[in-house]
């Protein structure tokens, strides 16, 4: 009797998808969409900034009448002057657009800065003063030296308009081109500057280039001629702001020396020793106003929500046009490369300092 073999169970083929790869790439469209939105938003913002004027500064009441229509504006020049396009310039532009401003109090608390930056601020102030016939009174803070004093000369050449506080340091009329020679230090580490240049004077002021005595002397003569020319410009500007300080009297104070307020008054660099409120009172008088008909105002940078959260002026920190303040300043540092290039770029300064100039003008 034959027995049938049991039937074998049917073979089943199960096809499984490799879902790990799918999970890996499923977020790709979202990443692409997000990047596209960021790029689009940046383009829109850049396009808007191109066609839009910089936002107006916030105007704050400072003193005297709160209701008076005529204003006396305090314009602050604070910190090292790196260029003519920062907070100080925006204040000048705001005053230029405000016909209700009848006088200026130029509050200077600066050790100076670059020749170009100091000269541009002086030029813009002087042009505004001449165009609007605005009386200007200078109020010096803790220091108003070199480029700070240069800017203070945009006072229209009037008498009795420069006030220094009792502890003010001022003067330092002169020009400096900093230079540091690290070539011998590098030589100890067997490092040599082998830069390729188009001419022997292209590397003037290079801190790493070892020079033959003849070339070093040639460079010094060229640089001294530059300094002398800019120094002559400085003295010309001082003559414009202090007409009585000329000839031997000007040469006696234009030595680069820093003066105390008392010494500066005796030398003719300032008119009076007094504080900001004294300068305001004089500006009100020159404008033909009274305490009841003058409103004294001061300007501030407009602050956004991010500024309040971080405790820092975000725009100034990003642009590098003002010192970031608050505990979050380390979150928005200037580009290290930009700062290094700025510090090592040979440039002349109207500056009173014993350290390399690396600060920016701030509010």
Give the tokens for residue 162: 């420069």
Cα–Cα dist 151/124, whole Å: 10
Q: Indicate if 146 belongs to the active site.
A: yes
Q: Indicate if 71 belongs to the active site.
A: no
132's CB contacts (< 8 A; 6+ apart) are 96, 101
Local structure of 102: helix, strand or coil: strand
Cα–Cα dist 136/72, whole Å: 10
State the DSSP H helix or E strand holding residue 126, giving kind and residue range, or none if neither. Answer: helix 115-132
Cα–Cα dist 176/346, whole Å: 11
Counting Cα atoms < 13 Å in the Cβ hemisphere of 203 gives 19
Catalytic residue among 146, 172, 206, 360: 146
Look at the block and give the residue holding tokens 């070339």. 215
131's CB contacts (< 8 A; 6+ apart) are 96
Query: Can you give the length of the chain in residues?
Result: 363
Catalytic residue among 36, 100, 142, 202: 202
Counting Cα atoms < 13 Å in the Cβ hemisphere of 135 gives 21
Helices (H), 275-335: 276-286, 305-310, 314-319
192's CB contacts (< 8 A; 6+ apart) are 186, 210
Give catalytic residues, as residue numbers. 146, 202
């Amino acid at each position: 009797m034959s027995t049938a073999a049991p039937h074998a169970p049917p073979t089943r083929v199960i096809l499984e998808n490799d879902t790990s790869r799918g999970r890996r790439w499923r977020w790709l469209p979202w990443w692409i969409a997000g990047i596209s939105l960021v790029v689009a938003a940046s383009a829109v913002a850049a396009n808007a900034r191109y066609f839009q004027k910089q936002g107006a500064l916030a105007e704050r009441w400072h003193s005297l009448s709160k209701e008076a229509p005529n204003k006396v504006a305090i314009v602050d020049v604070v910190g090292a002057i790196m260029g003519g396009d920062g907070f100080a310039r925006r204040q000048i532009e705001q005053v230029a657009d405000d016909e209700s401003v009848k006088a200026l109090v130029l509050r200077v608390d600066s050790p100076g800065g670059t020749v170009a930056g100091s000269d541009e601020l002086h030029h813009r102030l002087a042009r505004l003063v001449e165009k609007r016939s605005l009386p200007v009174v200078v109020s010096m803070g803790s220091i108003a030296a070199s480029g700070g004093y240069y800017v203070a000369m945009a006072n229209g050449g009037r008498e009795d308009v420069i006030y220094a506080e009792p502890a003010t340091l001022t003067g330092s009329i002169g020009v400096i081109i900093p230079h540091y020679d690290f070539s011998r230090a590098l030589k100890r580490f067997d490092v040599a500057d082998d830069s390729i240049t188009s001419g022997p004077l292209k590397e003037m002021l290079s801190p790493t280039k070892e020079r033959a005595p003849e070339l070093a002397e040639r460079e010094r003569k060229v640089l001294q001629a530059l300094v002398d020319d800019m120094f002559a410009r400085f003295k010309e500007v001082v003559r414009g702001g202090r007409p009585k300080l000329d000839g031997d009297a000007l040469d006696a104070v234009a030595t680069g020396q820093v003066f105390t307020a008392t010494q500066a008054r005796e030398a003719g660099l300032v008119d009076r020793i007094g504080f900001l409120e004294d300068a305001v009172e004089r500006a009100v008088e020159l404008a033909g106003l009274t305490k009841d008909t003058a409103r004294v105002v001061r300007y501030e940078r407009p602050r956004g929500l991010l500024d309040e959260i971080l405790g820092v002026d975000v725009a100034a920190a990003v642009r590098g046009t003002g010192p970031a303040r608050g505990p979050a300043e380390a979150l928005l540092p200037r580009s290290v490369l930009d700062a290094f290039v700025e510090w090592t770029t040979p440039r002349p300064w109207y500056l009173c300092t014993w350290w390399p100039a690396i600060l920016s003008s701030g509010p």
